[in-house]
Amino acid sequence: MIGRGPLRLRPAAREVRARTAAVTRGRSLHPAASSRTCAAPAVRRTASVQNGAMHSVIYSMGVSLDGFIAGPAGEIDWSAPVEELHRFHNEQTRALGVHLCGRRLYETMVYWETADRDPSIGEAERQFAGIWQGLPKVVFSTTLERVEGNARLATAGPAEELARLREEAGGDIGVGGAGLASAFAQLDLIDKYGVFVSPVLLGGGTSPFPPLDGRLELELAETRTFGSRVVYNRYRRVR
């Protein structure tokens, strides 16, 4: 429902809801998450094509008005979505063919492998659980030996894995976790940036973007304002 306040959840579920906001916007709660990114070579990016459709690499994130994805102490409670926004995240996640995760993001998302068994969650959350369970995932980690659900461990760096996935993905490719997304941005492998701006000033915290060697030109492709006053801007990479 447009303009509706936060869903009424138990305190523990509120934290999960905040984590859902972070995850479905494509960012890690722990931007320093370990990932296999160090040895990835620079490559020329080419579009993914399957059945005539061009598949994009997408990095979505929720940010404060002053440009942080988490506060000075890592707090993200300001980003929990209302139902209208949650359903929009569901639609975006449903359109993906595969999602790439850093280790900490993956560990946060393990909750959703069984969340639909919890009778206290809302309908939008229950839908997200089903969408997430069915979505193929690739986890970048140097410490994990196994992963659960519809996931596998990455066996190469971002560029090599992405080249393989472009031949396999049945839809767009999501990148989640600020650490992993930073590696993709540094290699200029991201086609679209989705930014959900919340009306709050944090005064400091974690930036969603890495230092870059040069400028990346973008153009605004879509903008939308939600009843919760969150403004969504989607930018397209100009190549």
Residue 2 lies in a domain: no
* pLDDT computed for residue 54 by the predictor: 64
Separation CA 108–CA 92 (nearest Å):
19
Query: 239 Cβ partners below 8 Å, 6+ apart?
Result: 45
Residue 184 lies in a domain: yes
DSSP state of 156: S
Residue 3 lies in a domain: no
What's the domain count of the chain? 1
- pLDDT per residue rounded down to tens, the chain (239 residues): 222 233 233 334 444 444 444 444 443 323 333 333 333 333 344 444 444 456 899 999 999 999 999 999 988 889 877 889 999 999 999 999 999 999 988 998 999 999 999 999 999 999 999 999 999 999 999 999 999 999 999 999 999 999 999 888 788 999 998 889 999 999 999 999 999 999 999 999 989 888 888 899 999 999 999 987 899 999 999 98
* pLDDT computed for residue 22 by the predictor: 46
Residue 1 lies in a domain: no
Residue 174 lies in a domain: yes
Residue 217 lies in a domain: yes
Separation CA 233–CA 192 (nearest Å):
10
State the amino acid at position 74 in one-letter form: G
State the amino acid at position 233 in one-letter form: N
170: containing domain: 11-237
Query: 70 Cβ partners below 8 Å, 6+ apart?
Result: 22, 29, 31, 76, 205, 206
Q: What is the DSSP string of 28-90?
A: -SSTT---S-TTPPP-----EEETTEEE-EEEEEEEETTS-SB-TT---GGGPPPHHHHHHHH
**Contact by Cβ (8 Å): 24, 92:** yes
Count Cβ atoms below 10 Å from residue 227 Cβ, excluding itself. 14
Residue 53 lies in a domain: yes
Which CATH number do you get for residue 184? 3.40.430.10
pTM of this structure:
0.77
Residue 166 lies in a domain: yes
**Contact by Cβ (8 Å): 202, 71:** yes
CA gyration radius for the chain?
A: 17
